[in-house]
Amino acid sequence: MPCDPLELSRKAAGIRLLLFDVDGVLTDGRVLVHQDGTESKQFGIRDGTALVWAQRAGIPVGLISGRQSAATSVRAAQLGIGIVRQAATDKLQLLGEVLLGQRLEPGQAAFMGDDLLDLPVLSRVGLSAAPADAAPEVIARVDWVSSRPGGGGAARELVELVLRAQGRWDDLVRGFLPDDAP
- 130 vs 180: CA distance, rounded Å: 38
> Residue 110 has what pLDDT?
98
> Residue 56 has what pLDDT?
93
Residue boundaries of the structural domains of the chain = 5-168
On the question of pLDDT at 5 being above 70, the answer is yes
Lowest mean pLDDT among 66-75, 98-107, 139-148, 171-180: 171-180
Torsion of CA 148, 68, 93, 141, to 10 degrees: 20
Residues 6 or more apart whose CB falls under 8 angstroms from that of 171 comprise none
This prediction has a pTM of 0.94
On the question of pLDDT at 40 being above 70, the answer is yes
> Residue 37 has what pLDDT?
87
Which CATH architecture describes the domain 5-168? 3-Layer(aba) Sandwich (3.40)
Q: How confident is the model at residue 127 (pLDDT cuts 50, 70, 90)?
A: very high
pLDDT tens-digit map of 57-91: 999 999 999 999 999 999 999 999 999 999 988 99
- 156 vs 44: CA distance, rounded Å: 9
Q: What is the mean pLDDT of residues 143-150?
A: 98
- Average pLDDT over the chain reads 94
For residue 40, the SS3 value is strand
- Phi, psi angles (nearest 5°) of residue 133: -100, 25
Q: How confident is the model at residue 181 (pLDDT cuts 50, 70, 90)?
A: low
